[in-house]
Amino acid sequence: MRFSDFSFAFPAILSAIMLTAILGPGGVNSILAIGLYNIPVFARLTRGSANSIWTREFVMAARASGKGRFRITFEHILPNILSIIIVQATILFAIAILAEAALSYLGLGTQPPEPSWGRMLNEAQTLMFLDPMQAIYPGIAIAIAVFGLNLLGDGLRDVLDPRLSRKR
């Protein structure tokens, strides 16, 4: 948790730039950089919501029926926070796409010949006035992907939460 506090002190994108600068640009390195800096977000979210579930009465009831900590964690805590984690994952997925686009735009992400929306935006920049669609298409692609992932998160939450789902 101390480590996560440390990483929260720096903006994620700045840290990712720092890491790719150290490790060198490239697809794998940018995945690593973005991934590593998203871990604390999950750690904090999981810990926070798990702690609040641990204080609930049904956990006490589960302990009273003889379950150990490990079983309770997986059978009672995890299913209750899974929807929160999944929703957060889809949102962070969207943010990660944006981050990768930003890294590639700066030339730190995926290297040619592998394609990347961020680099396409970068390359279209010089042709902005000759052929604006070159920049608009990857832009639209990024927007749709991000928006779609957010919708997916909402949809998943509705399906996973028994209190919100209705028998259809």
Partner 1 sequence: MSLLNVKDLSVILSTSEGPARAVRNLNFHLNRGETLGIVGESGCGKSMAALALMGLLPEQSETVGEIKFDGQNLLEKSDADMCQIRGNRLAMIFQEPMTSLNPVHTVGHQIMEPLRLHRNMSDNDARSETLRLLDRVGIPNPKELVDNYPHQLSGGQRQRVMIAIALSCQPDILIADEPTTALDVTIQDQILELIQTLVREEGMSLILISHDLGVISENTDNILVMYGGSAVETGQTAQIFDELIHPYTQGLFAAMPKLGRARGGRLVTIPGTVPDLISLPSGCTFTDRCPLATDICRNTPPPAVEVKANHFAACHHIDEARNRKTEELFS
By the criterion CB under 8 A, which residues form the site for partner 1? 56-58, 60-68, 71, 75-76, 79-80, 162-163
Q: Is there a contact between 30 and 109 (Cβ–Cβ < 8 Å)?
A: yes
Q: Which is nearer to partner 1, 112 or 162 (CB)?
A: 162
Determine the number of helices (DSSP H) and then strands (DSSP E) in the chain: 8, 0
- Minimal distance in Å, beta carbon 49 to partner 1? 13
Q: Which is nearer to partner 1, 36 or 160 (CB)?
A: 160
- Minimal distance in Å, beta carbon 65 to partner 1? 3
Q: Which is nearer to partner 1, 68 or 112 (CB)?
A: 68
Q: Which is nearer to partner 1, 31 or 157 (CB)?
A: 157
Structure tokens at 165: 């789902």
HEC string for 5-19: HHHHCCCHHHHHHHH
- Minimal distance in Å, beta carbon 68 to partner 1? 5
